[in-house]
């Protein structure tokens, strides 16, 4: 395992071009299992989560070319088994997306508990309910074991929550089910929209993406398709907040302007000067002010994936800010480490934290317990006086490509330590 040695107190300035959306890459790779023909995906982020998904496809019998590059070619002439490797599944929350394709190609799917951040607290009940509505039947066995004795059948159903991966699981199964399907209370995030676009290229009839009701006319077999991933607006927002935290000027390209608006709106409320011009999102040196409340929301609300970073920004803002992430427990707990860096925090409960600032942070050893809080703690270390050590670095690299190289390009003094 590796750690990141960080010398703080430097303003970061420069330009970053983000890679493709991680949260789009994973479901599109899973969709490649729905056809025997070749699929090609461009602008793939070179991150650990994508590598794990590619290894899962190989384990199931697919041919995958280009692992470690920005273009992946996938062809799955046959699916060799119905139970993905448990060790790989335990590393990736997105492995749950394999359930639908396995049911479609094998008539049976067995999945051990998916990993990722906080696996014990993140249920897949929405995913299973959608698959049951589409004709799956639960079977006794370890993990999650499903069969489709009569094949996948189109259905009309309501999701208990607008889960992103739950909606994607339903889409992947419905795309090859017999007859039409309708998913109500569907997630509207850009990565769900991108999966719908890809499935339409593969031949499925899909309409309503970006709204809470998606209709699918299943087609089997699907054909191969080629797609260029949109830029990752979460990565773009992360670099923007890092620039704001360190008081620097950072220009970010590669993400769609309409996706960046959800981040820019919160930064502007905190008096961070930023602008979107011609596809470039620029954050300028500013003096942040506290805003009364920042609350996460379903798209197009402020994304939970950025709540940890904006909490660190609040430590540098003048005044008091209540940060409320109602979507996930435990995400804010990892930020208690900021107290040892001299931040003024009050953790009200697993979903709310009150931050008073500005506070000059001090460097220290930090534990990256999950992907997003790991990046947030790295940002705190960059703004702090003195030296910090953040580890394991691999946790952060699950979602941020070329992290050390990008930090150095912005002027950060960082070193990877094995």
Catalytic residues, which ones?
A: 117
With H, G, I as helix, E, B as strand and everything else as coil, classify residue 174.
Answer: helix
Closest-CA residue to 154 (of 173, 168, 138): 173
Gap between the Cα atoms of 219 and 217, Å rounded: 7
Contact 286, 244 (CB under 8 A): yes
Which among 372, 404, 367, 327 is positioned nearest to 235, based on CA atoms? Answer: 372
CA distance 81 to 324: 43
Residue 336 structure tokens:
């208690």
Q: CA 373, CA 345: separation in Å to the nearest integer?
A: 15
Count of CB atoms situated within 10 Å of the CB of 62: 20
Q: How far apart are CA 83 and CA 69, in angstroms?
A: 27
Which residue pairs from 80-86 have beta carbons closer than 8 angstroms and sit at least 24 positions apart in sequence? 81/106, 82/106, 82/107, 82/108, 82/109, 82/110, 83/109, 83/110, 83/111, 84/56, 84/59, 84/60, 84/111, 85/55, 85/56, 85/59, 86/112, 86/143
Cα distance between residue 171 and residue 184, in whole Å = 12
Q: Residue 173: which of 143, 191, 199, 192 has the closest Cα? A: 199
Number of other CB atoms surrounding residue 339 within 10 Å = 12
Asked whether the CA dihedral 33, 34, 38, 40 is positive or negative, the reply is: negative
Containing H/E element for 74? Answer: strand 72-75
216, β-bridge pairs: 181, 206
**What is the C-alpha separation between 361 and 416, in angstroms, rounded?**
22
Backbone conformation region of residue 221, classed left if phi is above 0, alpha if psi is from -120 to 50, else beta? beta
| 137-138 vs 293-295, strand pairing mode | unpaired
d(CA 374, CA 304): 14
Instruction: Give the Cα separation of 46 and 50 in Å (integer).
Output: 7
């Amino acid at each position: 395992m590796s750690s990141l040695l960080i010398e703080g107190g430097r303003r970061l300035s420069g330009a970053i071009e983000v890679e493709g959306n991680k949260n789009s890459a994973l479901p599109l790779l899973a969709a490649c299992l729905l056809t025997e023909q070749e699929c090609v995906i461009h602008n793939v982020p070179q991150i650990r989560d994508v590598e794990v998904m590619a290894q899962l496809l190989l384990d199931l019998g697919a041919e995958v070319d280009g692992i470690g590059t920005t273009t992946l070619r996938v062809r799955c002439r046959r699916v060799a088994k119905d139970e993905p490797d448990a060790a790989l599944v335990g590393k990736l929350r997105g492995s749950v997306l394999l359930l639908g394709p396995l049911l479609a190609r094998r008539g049976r799917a067995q999945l051990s508990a998916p990993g990722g951040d906080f696996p014990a607290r993140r249920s897949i009940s929405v995913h299973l309910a959608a698959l049951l509505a589409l004709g799956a039947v639960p079977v006794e066995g370890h993990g999650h074991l499903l069969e489709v004795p009569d094949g996948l059948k189109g259905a009309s159903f309501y999701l208990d929550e607008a889960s992103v991966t739950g909606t994607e699981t339903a889409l992947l199964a419905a795309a090859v089910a017999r007859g039409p399907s309708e998913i109500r209370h569907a997630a509207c995030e850009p990565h769900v929209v991108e999966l719908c676009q890809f499935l339409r290229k593969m031949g499925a009839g899909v309409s309503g993406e970006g709204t809470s009701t998606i209709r699918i006319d299943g087609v089997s077999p699907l054909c191969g398709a080629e797609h260029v991933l949109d830029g990752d607006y979460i990565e773009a927002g992360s670099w923007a907040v890092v620039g704001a935290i360190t008081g620097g000027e950072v220009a970010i390209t590669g993400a769609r302007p309409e996706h960046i608006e959800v981040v820019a709106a919160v930064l502007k409320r905190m008096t961070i000067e930023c602008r979107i011009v011609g596809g470039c999102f620029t954050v300028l040196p500013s003096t942040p002010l506290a805003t009364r409340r920042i609350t996460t929301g379903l798209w197009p609300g402020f994304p939970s994936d950025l709540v940890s970073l904006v909490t660190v920004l609040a430590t540098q803002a003048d005044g008091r800010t209540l940060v409320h992430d109602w979507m996930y427990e435990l995400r804010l707990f990892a930020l208690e480490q900021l107290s040892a860096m001299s931040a003024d925090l009050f953790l009200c409960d697993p979903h709310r934290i009150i931050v008073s600032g500005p506070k000059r942070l001090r460097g220290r050893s930090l534990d990256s317990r999950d992907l997003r809080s790991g990046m947030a703690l790295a940002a705190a270390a960059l703004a702090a006086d003195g030296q910090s050590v953040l580890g394991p670095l691999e946790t952060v690299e699950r979602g941020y490509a070329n992290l050390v190289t990008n930090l150095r390009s912005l002027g950060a003094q960082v070193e990877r330590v094995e």
